[in-house]
Amino acid sequence: MKLCCDTLVTLSDDEHVGRRGCAFLVYELGGIPFFVLQFRTVDQGNDERLVGAVRAESNARGSTMGTRISQEVAMRFCPFCGTEFKKWARRNPEGFRAIVAKSVGHVELPPVRSSHG
Ligand SMILES: [Zn+2]
């Protein structure tokens, strides 16, 4: 994977994407690219098991206990080398398409609204 620096290459490898911890993902929404760091509590696919465990614990204690399974933080610049992502994407269209393709299925996109009503 060709990216602006080795740290992002590492954060976009198979050890990070879809795994608990931090990953670098890129997606497009309405033609606008979003470059994000995603932080996951559990590996993708274990979401429901964690929710079940938290709910059971919450019921047992008679209290409300919540947790965030994943969260994305959008960025304009690489936090590791300072590269502006949009400029990088323009100069490296193949690398951009590759990281977008790799990110598919790992981010929860908001529902697409129909313009017809
Ligand atoms: Zn970088």
CA atoms within 13 A of residue 20's CA, in its CB half-sphere: 9
Q: Ligand 1: distance of its center to the CA of 93 in Å?
A: 16
CA proximity to 39, closest of 61, 21, 58: 21
Please give the share of the chain, as a percent, with pLDDT higher than 90: 64
Q: Ligand 1: distance of its center to the CA of 66 in Å?
A: 33
Q: Ligand 1: distance of its center to the CA of 49 in Å?
A: 34
Query: What is this structure's pTM?
Result: 0.83
- The per-residue pLDDT for range 42-77, each reduced to its tens digit, is 999 888 888 888 878 777 777 666 678 889 999 999
Q: Ligand 1: distance of its center to the CA of 65 in Å?
A: 37
Tell me how far CA of residue 37 lies from CA of 50, 93, 115, in angstroms: 21, 20, 30
Q: Ligand 1: distance of its center to the CA of 41 in Å?
A: 24
Q: Ligand 1: distance of its center to the CA of 115 in Å?
A: 36
